[in-house]
Amino acid sequence: MKNRIIWDERQGLQEALERIGEGEKLNKVQPIGISFVVICKNEERCIARCVESLITEKQDEDEIIIYDTGSTDRTLELLDNYKNNVVVHKGEWKNDFSLARNAALRCAIKKWVFFVDADEVLQWGSTKTLKEFLYQMENVDYGLWAVCPIIEGFDHSKICGVPRIFKNDGSMRYFGYVHEEPRGRRCMEHVTRISISGINLWHDGYLEKVVKEKNKVSRNVELDLQMLQQEPQNVRWWFFYARDGREVLGVNAREKALLKVLALTQQGNDRDFRIKALSTLVELYIENGNLKKAIRYHKRMKAEAENLSDTKYFDVVLCIAKFKKELVELLYANKEYRENHFLEEEFGSMHSEGFHLDYANACIFYYLGEYQKANTILLRLREKGYRC
C-alpha cells in the first residue's frame, strides 16, 4: 500500500488489503467527506491556529465543527472570524470529556469524523494522505477500527496510539471521563487502532505553563479515580492514575497502581500497558533510591521487551546508579578508615599524612557530581603542597 502502516493492533491489515484487487481499493467514485471536530473551552491561546490549519487542509466535501463547552474568554469572539468556514455549536462542560465528544459527534454529518484538540495543529498534506487510506479501506472488512494520527509534542516526542478518526455511522461512541476512547456502541467493544505515516498533528497542550493554568494534573487524577470506580479491573485507568499522579500522589500510591496493572495483565493481555507499567515502575524506584527493586523490575522488563528503547535506557541508568552506589560505599569506608585506622598500620609509600586518601575522596565526589566538595578538598591539598 502507498502509505506505510506504522502500527496495526490486530496485525492483519496488510494481508487484508492484499486480498483485495487494486481496482477495488482505489474506487474513488464518491468523494469521502470528513467532519473535523474540535471541542473547546477557553482556548483563546490556540484556537485560531488550530482552525486555520483545518481550513488549509479542508476539502470541498468536508466540514469543520466546533463544539464549545462554555468559554468565558475570547474563544467565541475569535471563532467569529471564521464563521464562513466553521459551524459552532454550544454546550455545557460537565467534567466529562467523552460526554462532550459524543455531543459534538452528534453534530457531525459527514461519513468520517476526525477529532482534533484545540491545542493541536493539523500538518500539511494529512487530509490527502488520510483520504487515500480511507479509499483503500472501503472494501476491507476489519471490524471496528479507528485511525490514530501521529501526535508530536512540543518536545518532539511522538505517540501513535490515540484513536481520533473513525466512520460516522453510529457504531462507535466515546467512553471515559478522561483519556477517553471510542468503543463499540452496542456492547462497548474494543476498537482496533491503526496508525499510518503521513497523518500528523502537532500538540503543545502539556507545556508546563498550560498544565498549571488549566490545573490538568489534579483534574485528570480526580477523573481517573472516578473511572476506577466504574471499571476497577481495567488496566487503562490504573496506569493513567499512576502516570497522571506523578506530581501529586505519594510513592506508595503510584507503586500500588502500577503493580495492579502488572497483576491484571499477567495472562499476557494488554501488553502495551504492561510494558509501560514496568518502565514507569523502574523509573519510580530509581528516582526514590530503591535500586534493588529497580533492578528486579528491569530484569522483568528485559525479559519481555529487550529491544525497547526504554529497556536500553535503563541498562545505562542502572549501571550508573550501581556505580554511584559503590562509590558512596567506598567514600564512607575510606573516610572511616582515614579517621579511625590510618595510623594503626605502618606508613605506605604514597603519603605519610594520608593526603592520597583525601585525593581519592575528591575523585569520588567528582564522579558523584559533588564538584564543590571535590574542589574544596583539592584546594586544601594544593595549599599543603600535595601535587594533584
pLDDT tens, residue by residue, 108-159: 999 999 999 999 999 999 999 999 999 988 888 889 999 999 999 988 999 9
Domain boundaries, the chain: 5-203, 216-306, 329-383
DSSP string, 9-53: TTS-HHHHHHTS-HHHHT--SSPPPEEEEEEESS-TTTHHHHHHH
Q: Confirm whether 5-203 and 216-306 share one CATH topology.
A: no
5-203 CATH, one of 3.90.550.10, 3.40.50.2000, 1.10.150.530, 3.40.50.970: 3.90.550.10
pLDDT tens, residue by residue, 88-106: 999 999 999 999 999 999 9
CA–CA distances in Å: residue 69 to residues 94, 203, 253, 286, 333: 9, 20, 33, 41, 63
Q: What is the mean pLDDT of the chain?
A: 91
Binned at pLDDT 50, 70 and 90, residue 371 comes out as: very high
CATH architecture of 216-306: Alpha Horseshoe (1.25)
pLDDT tens, residue by residue, 160-169: 999 999 999 9
> Lowest-confidence range among 101-105, 217-221, 350-354, 383-387?
350-354
pLDDT tens, residue by residue, 336-348: 988 887 766 656 6
pLDDT tens, residue by residue, 292-336: 999 999 999 999 999 999 999 999 999 999 999 999 999 999 989
**Identity of the amino acid at 85:** N
What is the average pLDDT across 381-387?
91
CA–CA distances in Å: residue 166 to residues 3, 163, 169: 17, 8, 9
